[in-house]
Structure 1
Amino acid sequence: MEMTKEELIAFSSVGKKVSVDEPFNAPGHRNRIVFDALRHAASKKIFGLAYEKKGTLYLDLKCDPARIDELVNTMPYILPGQHFTKQHWITLDIDQLSSKEVLRKLIDASYQLTD
């Protein structure tokens, strides 16, 4: 699915009270990846982390631990969490996703799990 990071953040925020910031980005640091944290506006808990790496758009989401192995093993666009604990987070390769409905369901589940 072709989508910019800005479009992904907007899509992830629809119907939710969301704030976005860049808490992991240190100017002058050698890491050139810009991480946008999607947070609950009230509690500030992160439910998503959007970033681009080597030209590919990714989104880290919280997931029910009982489903992670199944999702990673059956969906080529779902990877073990790259930046948070692999026991509770997954990483989506947005370019490989074929359905906005699947993306919506995973985002909504992460939002609910972090509320």
Structure 2
Amino acid sequence: MNIEELRDFCLSLPGVTEHFPFDETTLVFKVNGRMFALTDLEGPLSVNLKCDPELALELREHYPAVRPGYHMNKQHWNTVDIDGSVSDGLLREWIMISYKLISEKSRKK
């Protein structure tokens, strides 16, 4: 997956918008005004994704490309290096998990 495919997939989800709230290189995807995915347009491609804390730990143990969320709450966020070691299908699945966690939480409020 490259940055264009990542962006296209995130924007294909219902209600998703993109923003640059931090600087001109940190692309943030939001649903209902809340972040569910972030990526830096400079440097090696990676994405920060929201995750259930237990699943976050499990993914870090099984995938070297998954690590605690960079500049995020490490209990609830993972950074996934998009280096080809994780399939695009699995990456899309993890993006959907993040999207659903945020959109469901937003609906409850």
Gaps of 5+ in 2: 104-109
When normalised by structure 1's length, the TM-score is 0.81
Q: Name 2:33's counterpart in structure 1.
A: 44
Gaps of 5+ in 1: 27-33
Question: What is the alpha-carbon distance in structure 1 between the residues aligned to residue 12 and residue 90 of structure 2?
Answer: 15
Q: Is the 8 A contact 2:51 2:98 kept in 1?
A: yes
Q: What is the percentage of aligned positions where both structures have the same residue?
A: 37
User: What's the CA shift for 1:67?
Assistant: 1.2
Q: Name 2:64's counterpart in structure 1.
A: 76
Spell out the pairing of 1:83-98 with structure 2 (5 A cutoff).
Answer: 83-98=71-86
Q: Is the 8 A contact 1:72 1:78 kept in 2?
A: yes
Between Structure 1 and Structure 2, the one with more helix by share is: 2
How many residues were matched structurally? 103
Comparing 79-88 with 8-17, greater Cα deviation is found at: 8-17
Letter in 1 for 2:95: I
Q: 1:87 to 1:8 in 2, by over 3 A?
A: same
Give deviations 1:69-89, integer Å, cap 9, x for gaps.
111111011111102100100
Spell out the pairing of 1:1-115 with structure 2 (5 A cutoff).
Answer: 1=1, 3=2, 5-25=3-23, 34-40=25-31, 43-53=32-42, 55-115=43-103
User: What's the CA shift for 1:13?
Assistant: 2.4
User: What's the CA shift for 1:16?
Assistant: 2.5
Letter in 2 for 1:39: K
Question: What is the alpha-carbon distance in structure 2 between the residues aligned to residue 109 and residue 12 of structure 1?
Answer: 12
